[in-house]
Amino acid sequence: MSFDYDLFVIGGGSGGVRAGRLAAEAGARVALAEEYRMGGTCVIRGCVPKKLMVFASGYASAMREAQAYGWDVRMGRFDWPSFRKRLHAELDRLEGIYRTNLGRAGAEIFEQRAVLTGPNSVQLADGRTFTARYILVATGGQPYVPEVPGKELVWTSNEVFLMEELPKRALIVGGGYIACEFSCIFNCFGVETTQYYRGAQILRGFDDESRGHVAELIKGRGIDLHVGTDIERLERRDGGIWVKATDGREATFDAVIYATGRKPNTEGLGLEKAGVELGRWKEIVVDEYSRTNVPSIYAVGDVTNRVNLTPVAIREGAAFVETVFKDNPTKVERDLVPSAVFTQPEYGSIGMTEEEARDERPIEVYCAAFRPMQNSFIDKDERVLFKLIVCTETRRILGCHIIAPNAGELIQMVAVAIRMGATKEDFDRTIAVHPTMSEEIVLMKTPTRTA
């Protein structure tokens, strides 16, 4: 059978673009359809704009510390409109790079929605239909907002980057990394920030001790954090948003931002018509090679709800091309994926939590929480945390958790050693870089506890 394309990609995010570009460079006839903007969630309404907001918001505490160190610094007002203009110019630039690199490789780009009409066919929004030997679905995820009276009044992470001005009072709903990051960002911008989370502690799924440490730090920075609390209803009142919480608390905010998780973006894609199996959360079910139950249809990235991180989606896109177009079956290793929560300070982690590890094997836990030199000099009470989880039998490092400024940068370096199978004795043999706060990771000699 003759096809219009060897590969048709639905979704122009990091995973889809990487797969489309590499396949085109390998000589395949490739088309890609994206209905919104090239770059997907990460570039346009996720990681990149969020991290730029983290950078901008971090200067508030930096200026206060500069004053304590002796600098004649005057704290002014943060100019959101000026930052917003520069932010969107940068996103436009990055989107252009994605489009240029994909086109340069020889792929054809359709800037409109595409849906599946069969195992080897797609239809564009303008009615045109195409056939392809393989179809790759890489449509990512979208914010999830639970049903609550007044939900039409709330923002999600999608709208935050588009706001015209900063609110004076903001409520962040959720306890995951996105919610915690936005709480810190708004707080540092000078917004009166409250955070509600219905669970017992923020950052579910991360190490328990580290979760508690982050919670205390962000409360210490002025965020009004309430756990075991959810929203009962919202109403527009007196120019603000009145909120009734499940614990009876009532308050009015200028903005309510929901960060209560994300769901796979599979609705209305024609997957059922093509015979593609979906899971409990409407994610596309795939095997270890990202292949669905339909041999010609694959899926990568958040739409599969495996490890929902941009670098993983990129790796999955590359592995798909190796498998399908280069006759080199390739799996993506997901057992040791480093991650960072860009709170202030940051939380970087890789490997197992203490709770996971102790349920599987005997472990030693090495942990140190202390004031680094930069803080102690100016009597700033904020403490960093370094934690290693070690298998008692093999001596391998099973997990590492760091809460400190630039923890995301630190955990990337540690991840290489842990991926290579480093032991506690390998860390012990490494000479410290002094004076640094990170030297603590090779200086912890006595276990804090065993389990």
Q: What is the pLDDT of residue 51?
A: 97
88 an active-site residue? no
For the chain, percent of residues with pLDDT exceeding 90: 98
Q: What is the pLDDT of residue 238?
A: 87
Q: For residue 206, count other CB atoms closer than 10 A to its CB.
A: 20
pLDDT digits (tens, 9 = 90+) for 385-435: 999 999 999 999 999 999 999 999 999 999 999 999 999 999 999 999 999
C-alpha torsion 282→285→291→294, nearest 10? -80
pLDDT digits (tens, 9 = 90+) for 342-388: 999 999 999 999 999 999 999 999 999 999 999 999 999 999 999 99
Cα 392 from Cα 389, distance rounded (Å): 9
The answer, yes or no, to whether residue 10 has pLDDT greater than 80, is yes
Q: What is the pLDDT of residue 135?
A: 98
Cα 451 from Cα 446, distance rounded (Å): 14
Q: Which of 88, 213, 401, 434 is catalytic?
A: 434
Cα 436 from Cα 372, distance rounded (Å): 8
Q: What is the pLDDT of residue 138?
A: 98
Cα 47 from Cα 212, distance rounded (Å): 24
CB 372 within 8 A of CB 437: yes
Cα 201 from Cα 218, distance rounded (Å): 13
Token output for 188: 């540092």
Q: What is the pLDDT of residue 351?
A: 98
Q: What residues contact 365, with CB distance under 8 A and at least 6 apart? A: 354, 387, 388, 389, 390, 447, 448, 449, 450, 451
Q: Which domains does the chain have, with CATH numbers?
A: 5-142+263-325 (3.50.50.60), 151-260 (3.50.50.60), 345-450 (3.30.390.30)
pLDDT digits (tens, 9 = 90+) for 82-99: 999 999 999 999 999 999
Q: What is the pLDDT of residue 99?
A: 94
CB 42 within 8 A of CB 310: yes
Confidence band for 6, pLDDT divided at 50, 70 and 90? very high
Q: What is the mean pLDDT of the chain?
A: 97
In Å, what is the CA distance from 437 to each residue of 193, 386, 410?
30, 9, 11
- Three-class SS string for the chain? CCCCEEEEEECCCHHHHHHHHHHHHCCCCEEEECCCCCCHHHHHHCHHHHHHHHHHHHHHHHHHHHHHCCCCCCCCCCCHHHHHHHHHHHHHHHHHHHHHHHHHCCCEEECCCEEEEECCEEEECCCCEEEEEEEEECCCEEECCCCCCCHHHCECHHHHCCCCCCCCEEEEECCCHHHHHHHHHHHHCCCEEEEEECCCCCCCCCCHHHHHHHHHHHHHCCCEEEECCCEEEEEEECCEEEEEECCCCEEEECEEEECCCEEECCCCCCHHHHCCCECCCCCECCCCCCECCCCCEEECHHHHCCCCCHHHHHHHHHHHHHHHHCCCCCCCCCCCCCEEECCCCEEEEEECCHHHHHCCCCEEEEEEEECCHHHHCCCCCCCEEEEEEEECCCCEEEEEEEEECCHHHHHHHHHHHHHCCCEHHHHHHCCCCCCCCHHHHHCCCCCCEEC
The answer, yes or no, to whether residue 194 has pLDDT greater than 80, is yes
Q: Which of 173, 175, 177, 207 is nearest to 193 (CA)?
A: 173
For the chain, percent of residues with pLDDT exceeding 70: 100
pLDDT digits (tens, 9 = 90+) for 11-59: 999 999 999 999 999 999 999 999 999 999 899 989 999 999 999 999 9
Token output for 217: 């730090």
Token output for 79: 């100019």
Q: Which of 442, 418, 422, 420 is nearest to 431 (CA)?
A: 442
Q: What is the pLDDT of residue 81?
A: 96
Confidence band for 1, pLDDT divided at 50, 70 and 90? confident
pLDDT digits (tens, 9 = 90+) for 213-262: 999 999 999 999 999 999 999 999 989 999 999 999 999 999 999 999 99
The answer, yes or no, to whether residue 163 has pLDDT greater than 80, is yes
Q: Which of 250, 155, 252, 258 is nearest to 197 (CA)?
A: 258
